[in-house]
Structure 1
Amino acid sequence: MPRLTRFLTCLLGLLLLAATPASAQDMPPWGTGDSKGEDLSIYLVTFGPGDDVASWWGHGSLVVEDQRLKQSRLYNYGMFSFDERMLMRYAMGRLEFWVDDASPAGTFRFYRSLNRDVRLQELNLSPEQRVELAKALAVNVLPENRNYLYQHYADNCVTRLRDGIDRVLGGTFQQAMSGPGRMTLREHTRRYTAVGPPMSVLLDFLMNDEIDKPITRWQEAFLPDELERQVAEMQVVGPDGQKHPLVARAFSVYTATGRPALPEQPPKYAPVLLLMGLVFGGGAVGLALWGRRSGGRAPRVLLGLQNLLVGLVFGIPGFALFIMWLFTDHTVTYHNENLFQANPLTLLAIPFGVQLMLGSKKAPGRMRLLWWVLAGVGVLGLVLKVLPPFDQDNWRLIGLILPISLGMAGAFTRARVQAPAEVRPSSEPVAPSLKASGS
């Protein structure tokens, strides 16, 4: 219930922050040319991570303030529609975001109510650069300009801020951050999702080697914390011809309490996942051996239940991944090597597992064929790793899923599970075991 309450609070707050779309008539003074550069201040705002999956990454915005005219607005590129088609658009990779403006003070109060950090960096820009950036934001928020197609790694609410700052700096920001990044996009993803291990593993499963390539620091700035770090390091040439920090001053409006620190490195799940795979796969063989020795109902039901769980946990994501590759614009799911380990065939473990629990005589044979196919495809995915094109960082998923497939194949082969024998009525008379003798 507390998590539902927080989600509803977040949803209501975002809807309240979504102001009526700006128009030419209500342009701020920096959009109409009434603001002077020396009166403007521009701040990069970094919001810390929140409780739900969408907010684990944090958030960012830009604030423009005219100190002479006492006006300020916060520009937020993270707006999207909470309507009935939102989930479908997201699933298809076609979710539109837009930029909106709102009251900075009201926005800060909202994030404080969610116990999320609010940190500001005042940008040390020239008066001309302040006017240019502020006017670009005012124009960008107009209805005809505000929408964009969201892409998590390449075009999101933070990369739009990064690109705007770079434009007024004449491209020097991107040039300064063209060096190699600290880690890959996958490693950053695993680092930020470590707060929820099951979701972290699921996202790791769904994404292909597109996020395993070496990246630059510029590309790392799809994350609010990384952009904040890079802006703090950036040096710009001032009117005196000398280099100065891009950040004139930095301060916190609110510091969250009780939140775990973001790990600097991705979690080391591989040994745990391998152990889980070995235990689950070995458990299947153990149940089959037990069933062969005892001939009882319990091991058969437990093994059927185990197959049902495997079908649900791996079959549904495998099927979803296959559909996302074929029918959506999520390029990060295309040609995913994890389909060797779990795919639509894995879903068959659900009905076959139910049949096994109910005592179907055909279920063991069906399970044997299914798991030999899945185990063979899984081994093929492992063997292909020796070839350069198969460079996806999915060893953790192989370690988890392949031992389960091999264990299931072994369970229905060397120690075959027998369904209960049918008892048929016989019309033949039962022969007496003893004959009476007479004199």
Structure 2
Amino acid sequence: MPRLAPLLTCLLGLLLLASTPAHAQETPPWGTGESRGEDLTIYLVTFGPGDDVAAWWGHGSLVVEDQRLEQSRLYNYGMFSFDERMLARYAMGRLEFWVDDASPGATFRFYRSLDRDVRLQELNLTSAQKVELGRLLAVNVLPENRHYVYHHYNDNCVTRLRDGIDKVLGGQFQQVMSSPGRMTLRDHTRRYTAVGPAMSLLLDFLMNDEIDQPVTRWQEAFLPDELERLVAEMQVVGEDGQKRPLVAKALNVYEAKGRPATPAEPPRYGPVLLLLGLALGGGAVGLALWGRRSGGRAPRILLGLQNALVGLVLGIPGFALFIMWLFTDHTVTYRNENLFLANPLTLLTLPLGIQLMRGSEKARERMRRLWLVLAGLGVLGLALKVLPMFDQDNWRLIALLLPLSVGMAGAFTLARARAQAQATSEPLTPSLKASGS
């Protein structure tokens, strides 16, 4: 999600602060003009996915090496720091990143220690292009230039590499890669987060149709693996007018042991979510029927507990999504259709569920009204799908949450019917006894 920390492609830069040498103050020779183009080698480095959420996306960097002067630097646009303002900037979608340089060898050893792939592609650039790219990187790393506002899809530690390469190629890269992409940004997000289904579902819930629109291959290169793929396929026109591969050679520095590959396609778990939604909604109805027959405490307590959990699991994200839309720069959350399915009203099921567990009849009636509203909103969100503007790819969430809402509304409607039946039958008991005597 744009500028949202759980999805940051390059949070690992924080660890690099502690594991690689501090930013060198002296300007490298390619920044002072000492380096000659024929002595420079520039590599695109791709680091494979890691274990934590931030590392699921992989990472990328550029390495500049002057073989004559025996100097090399790795440029990492994924740096950020935890400080007293970081959480506020993160919450508002205004998190700042910066570029720093470090020792390539130390960085490679660090990623190897995490059992993450380290792959290099030597860029087949002209001498002038190498000099220019080296100069750009040396200028970018200066304190007055190094910071930028992170955006997960449009401006991150990989798109900065892509844009730098394209600049020295005179725009050839973007021009060639303007063809349609393989899939939407949501599909890419879902396949990279498939390793953690719960987090994947949460991110799917939080994002609107901004990432469901068709994209180009150029836009897909917000991901390290996609940029690596495009660079490998790219043919550029040299000074002689002849086409040549952009990659002179590829080096596999380290291959992760036993780490599963990122799926080529997003997982298809819609049917599973539908079954889960039906089970949850049907379970609520089952508890209401049990309570209607037995009148015991157990079904009431279990139904209250289920509602309290729904408030925690769905109400908090629904409330957060609403706040993100109104008060933050997380544009990918704005006007999100999933607010028909879970929203701040859903959070009310938490306290009302607890009250129901404690035997409150007022809570039962309030829950009935609340779930009728929530189910109605869910049905409205589904009906609006016939309109072109309601094109968000959220069928998986509808499959999960709409049956739950309808089931809850049905459960509390049954509970109310039972209460009304008891209310009408109880006064009759004394009069019947009197007539019999």
Question: How many angstroms does 1:15 deviate by?
Answer: 2.1
State the structure with more CA Rg: 1
Aligned length: 412
Which residue type is aligned with residue 210 of structure 1?
E
Cα deviation, residue 21, structure 1:
4.8
Match of 2:16 among 14, 17, 29: 14
Kept in 1, the 8 Å contact 2:22–2:102? The answer is no
Q: Is the 8 A contact 1:21 1:142 kept in 2?
A: no
Aligned-residue offset at 1:258: 1.2
* 1:418 to partner: Cα distance: 5.1
Instruction: Give the root-mean-square deviation of aligned CA atoms.
Output: 1.8
Q: Over residues 116-139 of structure 1, what are the superposed CA-to-partner deviations in whole Å (9 max), with x where a residue is unaligned?
A: 000000000000000000000001
**1:12 Cα deviation from its structure 2 partner:** 7.3
Q: Secondary structure at the match of 1:390?
A: coil
8 A Cα contact 2:13 2:80, kept in partner:
no
1:124 and 2:124 matched: yes
For structure 1, which segment, 162-171 or 236-245, has the greater mean C-alpha deviation from structure 2 after superposition?
Answer: 236-245
- Paired AA for residue 159 in structure 1: T
Residue 437 of structure 1 corresponds to which residue in structure 2? Answer: none
For residue 80 of structure 1, what is the amino acid of its counterpart? F
Q: Is the 8 A contact 1:162 1:227 kept in 2?
A: yes
1:84 positional shift: 3.4
Listed as ranges, the gaps of 5+ residues in structure 2 are: 1-11, 424-433
Query: SS at the partner of 1:63?
Result: strand
**Letter of the aligned partner of 1:319 in structure 2?**
F
Read off the aligned partner of 2:93 and give its amino acid letter.
G
For the pair 1:191 / 2:191, whether they are aligned, the reply is yes
| Counterpart secondary structure, 2:413 | coil
C-alpha displacement at 1:179, in angstroms?
A: 0.2
Aligned-partner Cα distance in 1 for 2:201–2:30: 46
Once the two structures are TM-superposed, the CA of residue 85 in structure 1 deviates from its matched residue by 2.8
Scaled by the length of structure 2, what TM-score is found? 0.92
C-alpha deviation, 1:242, in angstroms: 1.7
Instruction: Note if 1:404 corresponds to 2:404.
Output: yes
Paired-residue identity, %: 79
- The separation in 1 between residues aligned to 2:201 and 2:246, in whole angstroms, is 38
Alpha-carbon contact 1:17-1:102 (below 8 Å) kept:
no
- Output the CA distance in 1 between the equivalents of 2:377 and 2:291: 27
CA pair 12-78 structure 1, distance change in 2 beyond 3 A:
closer
How big is each residue's C-alpha offset from its partner over 1:280-313, in whole Å with a ceiling of 9 and x where there is no partner? 0000000000001000000000000000011111
Amino acid at match of 1:181: G
Is 1:354 the counterpart of 2:360? The answer is no
Residue correspondence of structure 1 range 144-163 to structure 2 within 5 A:
144-163=144-163
1:11 Cα offset (Å)? 7.9
Paired amino acid for 1:199:
M
Correspondence 1:79 to 2:79: yes
CA distance in 2, matches of 1:159, 1:235: 19
Distance 1:36 1:191 in 2: 43
Q: Could you list the per-position Cα deviations for residues 81-126 of structure 1 after superposition, in whole angstroms to 9, with x for gaps in the alignment?
A: 1223323211210000000000000000000011100000000000
**Mapping of residues 175-254 of structure 1, within 5 Å:** 175-254=175-254
Q: For structure 1, list consecutive stretches of 5 or more residues without a partner in the other structure.
A: 1-9, 423-432, 434-439
CA contact (8 A) 1:49 1:55 kept: yes
1:47 aligns with 2:41: no
Q: Which amino acid aligns with 1:31?
A: G
Q: List per-residue Cα deviations over 1:30-53 (Å, max 9, x = no partner).
A: 000000000000000000001111
Q: Say whether the 8 Å CA contact 1:340–1:381 is kept in structure 2.
A: yes
Q: Distance in 2 between matches of 1:355 and 1:347?
A: 14
Shift of 1:363: 1.4
Q: Report the alpha carbon displacement of residue 243 of structure 1 after superposing the two structures with TM.
A: 1.1
User: Which residue identity does 1:278 align to in structure 2?
Assistant: L
Question: Are the counterparts in 1 of residues 341 and 402 from structure 2 also a CA contact under 8 Å?
Answer: yes
Q: CA deviation at 1:240?
A: 3.5
Give the whole-Å Cα distance in 1 for the aligned partners of 2:84 and 2:53: 19
Cross-structure match for 1:305: 305
Deviates more, 1:327-336 or 1:78-87: 78-87
How much has 1:239 moved relative to structure 2? 3.7
Query: Hey, what does 2:66 align to over in structure 1?
Result: 66
- Residue 210 of structure 1 deviates from its aligned partner by 0.2
Shift of 1:17: 4.7
- Encode CA deviations 1:238-288: one digit per residue, 9 max, x unaligned: 344321100000011100011111100000010111110000000000000
- C-alpha distance in 1, partners of 2:21/2:320? 36
1:341-373 Cα distance to aligned partner (Å, 9 max, x none): 000000010011001100012111011000000
Residue 326 of structure 1 aligns with which residue?
326
Residue 140 of structure 1 is matched in structure 2 by 140
Q: Under a length normalisation based on structure 1, what TM-score does the superposition of the two structures give?
A: 0.91
Question: Is 2:4 the counterpart of 1:27?
Answer: no
Structure 1 residue runs of 4 or more that deviate by more than 3 Å after TM superposition: 10-13, 17-23, 415-419
> What SS does the aligned partner of 1:391 have?
coil
**Distance in 2, Cα, partners of 1:184 & 1:13:** 31
| Residue 366 (structure 1) aligns with | 366
Give 3-state SS (helix, strand or coil) of 1:87's partner: helix
Aligned to 1:3: none
Task: Give CA-to-partner distance per residue, 1:389-424, whole Å, 9 cap, x none.
Answer: 1000000001100100000000011343659x99xx
Aligned residue in 2 for 1:317: 317
State the distance in 1 between where 2:13 and 2:225 align.
23
- Matched residue type, 1:182: R
Aligned equivalents of 1:115 and 1:418: distance in 2? 61
Distance 1:87 1:119 in 2: 33
